[in-house]
């Protein structure tokens, strides 16, 4: 007789919440660099795999970041605000870098789920 799996399905998590949890995991693993100067330093030393900017970061900060590290690492704007991310960073911070390759892949996938990353197929239209 076949056994039936009666365990209830887990409810789907909102993409932004999944990204927040991925960033929290990076922080707990010690693979999250926060703050403009620290992120810039990590990029120059080739330690950063992914750089993310809070959605409410100033245009000047984003411009400076792209100028400083845009050739080294992709800079991606995430759909989370500095206030929402303050639970992870303990204060409002606009710039984050992930220094672990596998965790960067996890965050990149979560950013894709949120629609923060445009695929090349989407850009051709």
Predicted TM-score of the model (pTM): 0.79
pLDDT band at 121 (very low <50, low <70, confident <90, very high): very low
Residue 74 belongs to some domain of the structure? yes
E strands, 31-99, are: 32-34, 50-53, 75-77, 95-98
Number of folded domains that form the chain = 1
β partners of residue 95: 53
Domain that holds residue 77: 14-112
Residue 119 belongs to some domain of the structure? no
The pLDDT value given to residue 89: 81
* Residue located via tokens 């605000």: 81
Task: Write out pLDDT tens, residues 47-98.
Answer: 989 999 988 888 898 888 888 888 888 888 888 888 888 888 888 888 999 9
* Residue located via tokens 């927040």: 20
pLDDT band at 123 (very low <50, low <70, confident <90, very high): very low
Residue 125 belongs to some domain of the structure? no
Indicate which CATH number applies to the domain containing 64.
3.30.1330.30
Residue 123 belongs to some domain of the structure? no
Residue 117 belongs to some domain of the structure? no
Residue 52 belongs to some domain of the structure? yes
Angle between helices 36-44 and 59-69 (to 10 degrees): 20
Residue 1 belongs to some domain of the structure? no
């Amino acid at each position: 007789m076949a056994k039936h799996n009666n365990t209830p399905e887990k409810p789907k998590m909102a993409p932004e919440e999944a990204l927040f949890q991925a960033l929290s995991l990076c922080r707990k693993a010690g693979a999250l660099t926060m703050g403009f100067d620290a992120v810039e330093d990590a990029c120059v030393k080739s330690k950063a795999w992914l750089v993310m900017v809070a959605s409410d970061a100033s245009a000047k900060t984003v411009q400076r970041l792209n100028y400083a590290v845009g050739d080294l690492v992709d800079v991606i704007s995430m759909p989370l605000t500095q206030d929402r991310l303050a639970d992870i960073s303990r204060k409002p911070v606009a710039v984050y870098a992930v220094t672990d390759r596998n965790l960067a892949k996890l965050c990149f996938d979560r950013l894709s789920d949120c629609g923060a990353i445009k695929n090349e197929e989407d850009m051709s239209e």
